[in-house]
Amino acid sequence: MDNPPQPPIALSARNLQKTYKAGGNQPAKHALKGIDLDIPRGAIFGLLGPNGAGKSTFINILAGLVIKSGGSANIWGFDIDANPRQARASIGIVPQELSIDPFFTPAEIMDLQAGLYGVPRRQRRTMEILSAMGLADKAQAYARTLSGGMRRRLLVAKAMVHNPPVLVLDEPTAGVDIELRRQLWDYVIDLNRQGVTIMLTTHYLEEAEELCDTIAIIDNGAVVACDKTQNLLQQIDNKTLVIRPSTQLAAAPVIAGLQCALRDDGQLAVQYNPGQQAAGEVLAQVQNSGIEIADLASEGADLETVFMKLTGPSSL
């Protein structure tokens, strides 16, 4: 029997809205204000935004934990209202909270989750997934004995028991040390190479910049940007020349039209707008200020700069 065709869009939302009703002294809150998103099949898609922007509400609607107020959402071609079971079977969600029953072992937790999704015993991959997450030696240990990093990896394993084509990671590396974070991302990248579509939220912007091919930024319940990562970085029309002076500077020079800052390592960072001024002109101004240049490098905008521009006070 032929496999059904895979949809080109793994996850989509159209005018997705959520309003929490007023209660007590709290006014009504418009958590989502008409979200439109398309996540292509096979992508690693970043959903970024400050705390309270609406990211968790969006994810909880996809998970079936929050009822939307308006609009529509589809997961792997299944409408979350018209085909809720198929939609939820197409997605695995790794929550922020480390919610694991402390009196179950990882193997028991995996088998229970697989049973909830109706995965037959002969098709369960409990030890395969635990091994991939580096938890094979903890399969029979009580979950309460696991470290925070191990519990985080167990949540990822739990989300994969039913082999979903879409995996959502909500702050997956929060509280995880650098080594475990790298192991987790290696596994996620391998899943993506196997065809799993990944959507992640993270406060580590360098992670999003390195991993995601497309990024959406959400603020105050609305999408303020959605584009290829490199296109977003090009939105900030500034560059920085990093200059190593021949002799150590006591302070950054004051040069008209340029922002100069002396870094802790003694290098001089000069920010300029390449649309208004050529790099050669900037270097000439630096040299005219009496600084002899021993070496230099160029830096472009990073994702943090884009993020702050789109979500900071100046964007309101």
pLDDT for residue 2: 54
Residue among 14, 96, 69, 46 nearest 215 (CA) = 46
Range(s) within the chain of domains with CATH label 3.40.50.300: 9-233
Strand 293-299, strand 239-245: pairing:
antiparallel
Range(s) within the chain of domains with CATH label 3.30.70: 239-300
Residue among 183, 186, 22, 197 nearest 93 (CA) = 197
pLDDT for residue 99: 80
For the chain, the average pLDDT equals 87
Res 235 pLDDT > 70:
no
Res 50 pLDDT > 70:
yes
pLDDT digits (tens, 9 = 90+) for 98-117: 788 889 999 999 999 999 99
Alpha-carbon distance values, 292 to 124, 209, 268, 287 (Å):
66, 34, 11, 6
The CATH number given to 9-233 is 3.40.50.300
141 vs 126: CA distance, rounded Å: 14
Q: CATH assignment of 239-300, given 3.30.70, 3.40.50, 1.10.3470, 1.10.10?
A: 3.30.70
Residue type at 156 in one-letter notation = V
3-state secondary structure of 201: strand
pLDDT for residue 172: 81
7 vs 168: CA distance, rounded Å: 17
3-state secondary structure of 9: strand
pLDDT for residue 44: 96
Lowest pLDDT segment from 41-55, 168-182, 280-294: 168-182
Overall average pLDDT of the 281-296 stretch: 91
Res 314 pLDDT > 70:
no
Largest CA-CA distance found in the chain, in angstroms, rounded: 76
